[in-house]
Amino acid sequence: MAIILDGKETARKVREGLKTEVLELRKSGIVPRLAVIMVGDDNASKIYVRNKSKACDEVGIEFEEHLLSEKTTMKELLGLIDELNNDKKINGILLQSPIPSNLDINEAFRRISPEKDVDGFNPVNVGKLVLAQNTFISCTPFGIIKILEEYNIPIEGKNAVVIGRSNIVGKPMLQCLLNKNATVTICHSKTKNLKEITKKADILVSAIGRPKFVTKDMVKEGAVVIDVGINRNSEGKVCGDVDFETVKDIASSITPVPGGVGPMTVAMLMNNVVKATKQQN
Ligand code: NAD
């Protein structure tokens, strides 16, 4: 039976540490502030934004939400980003995805000042991650590295396989693992013989978005399995990409869903806001 990598508890510890840092900042009159932009009416996004707001409250970060209608134009969105970029009280800016498809999310990410880009999606920060320079690492891969470190799971020299190549999870995950000296393979929907590749993974990260996609026969005995997926099963319950019940018997450790990667993502966002605040002061 695998060790369950407790993201909820690890995230709580991260927030606890940040709380102390924020108290120190506040003593010198500096109050970290995060602005979140949401465009349209996506139900999952609302839950994610609520979780981020709750975490801000706990850590002592001020939170402001900018809700834009579905009909918002690119000009209006960029106008708001400019305003927030120029507002000295704002330390971090996050644009919640998805946004309506008529808007160009990449252009919006480019517009967020790299100094306030706490999600790490501005190409300047993505480039710095590739070059292994100091940057804002995007929160989900950063949270995964943090939980591996918390459980003293070695990364260097390991075979790591990432399934999924999205800009927000798969690609930065590849880079984070590479920066920690893993040998990394990235797989996607066009990958042939996926199982042969995943079977070789010492560390297997799944970020696809399909329930029970990763089955026991795809996993090497003793592998560390990280489940990024947030899906709904046929009963409407939240589940990951991994068939947890069977894979946990073969893995050495595994993240649950919920309570694994999700809380870590939010905690690392808090970390990035505090870091941005310090850098700006
Ligand atoms: P995405 O839809 O942008 O990308 C999915 C990726 O999976 C693509 O690169 C695609 O090539 C790959 N893929 C799809 N089918 C495949 C197949 N049959 N074989 C191999 N690869 C396949 O998704 P995303 O935004 O990266 O999110 C992935 C999942 O992670 C979703 O469930 C999402 O909700 C979740 N997510 C969780 C967190 C968190 O904090 N836990 C954060 C972001 C995303």
CATH code of residue 243: 3.40.50.720
Percent of the chain with pLDDT over 90: 98
Q: Which of 73, 93, 125 is the last residue of a domain?
A: 125
Extended strands (E) in the chain: 3-4, 33-39, 62-68, 92-95, 159-163, 183-187, 203-206, 224-227, 231-232, 238-239, 253-254
Tell whether 148 and 247 lie within a shared domain. Answer: yes
pLDDT at 251: 98
Going from the Cα of 141 to the center of ligand 1, the distance in angstroms, rounded, reads 13
Task: Note the pTM of the prediction, 2 decimals.
Answer: 0.98
Give residue 127's pLDDT: 98
Q: Which domain holds residue 208?
A: 139-261
- Count of Cβ atoms closer than 10 Å to residue 268 Cβ: 28
Q: Is residue 278 part of a domain?
A: no
Question: Rounded to the nearest 5 degrees, what angle is found at the Cα of 54, between the Cα atoms of 49 and 59?
Answer: 125
On whether both 45 and 93 belong to a single domain, the answer is: yes
Instruction: Return the pLDDT at 174.
Output: 98
One domain, residues 144 and 116:
no
* pLDDT digit string, tens, across residues 232-245: 988 999 999 999 99
Q: Say whether pLDDT at 137 is over 90.
A: yes
* Residue 53 forms part of a structural domain: yes
User: Does the pLDDT value for residue 131 go beyond 90?
Assistant: yes
Q: Which residues contact 20 (CB under 8 A, 6 or more apart)?
A: none
Residue with tokens 């939010």: 266
Question: Among residues 93, 125, 157, which one ends one of the domains?
Answer: 125
Ligand 1 atom nearest to CA at 169: 26
What band does 203 get if pLDDT is binned at 50, 70 and 90?
very high
Give the torsion sign (CA, 119, 124, 130, 131). negative
User: Which one of 68, 102, 125 terminates a domain?
Assistant: 125
Buried b (16+ CB within 10 A) or exposed e, 246-263: ebbebbebbbbbebbbbb
- Structure confidence at residue 1 (pLDDT): 86
- Please check whether residue 192 lies inside any domain of the structure: yes
Q: Is the same domain home to 246 and 148?
A: yes
Contact 37, 66 (CB under 8 A): yes
Same domain, 110 and 155: no
CATH number at residue 110: 3.40.50.10860
Q: What percent of the chain has pLDDT over 70?
A: 100
Query: For 205-226, how does the pLDDT look when each residue is reduced to its tens digit (9 = 90+)?
Result: 999 999 999 999 999 999 999 9
Residue 96 lies in a domain: yes
In ligand 1, which atom is closest to the CA atom of 97? 25
Nearest to 176 by CA among 275, 103, 264: 264
Residues 121 and 213 both lie in one domain: no
| Same domain assignment for residues 177 and 213 | yes
Give the strand order in the sheet containing 183-187: 3-4, 253-254, 224-227, 203-206, 159-163, 183-187
Report how far residue 3's alpha carbon sits from residue 173's, in angstroms, rounded to the nearest whole number: 22
Query: Residues with Cβ within 6 A of ligand 1?
Result: 140, 163-166, 168-170, 187-189, 191, 194, 207-209, 228-231, 261-262, 265
Q: Is residue 275 part of a domain?
A: no
> Which range, of 39-43, 120-124, 248-252, averages the lowest pLDDT?
39-43
Residues 244 and 175 in one domain: yes
| Within-domain flag for 241 | yes
Instruction: Establish whether 119 is a catalytic residue.
Output: yes
CA distance 151 to 213: 25
Cα 239 to ligand 1 centre (Å): 13
Sign of CA dihedral 81, 83, 85, 90: negative
Catalytic site includes residue 280: no
Is 90 exceeded by the pLDDT of residue 159?
Answer: yes
Residue 280 lies in a domain: no
Question: Is the pLDDT reported for residue 227 higher than 90?
Answer: yes
* CA distance to 1, 239, 266, per residue, from 162 (Å): 23, 19, 21
In this structure, the answer to whether residues 148 and 249 fall within a common structural domain is yes
Same domain flag for 145 and 171? yes
Number of domains in the chain: 2
Average pLDDT value for the chain: 97
> Does any domain span residue 274?
no
| Residue 151 Cα to ligand 1 middle (Å) | 25
Residues 161 and 220 in one domain: yes
Q: Is the domain of 148 the same as that of 121?
A: no
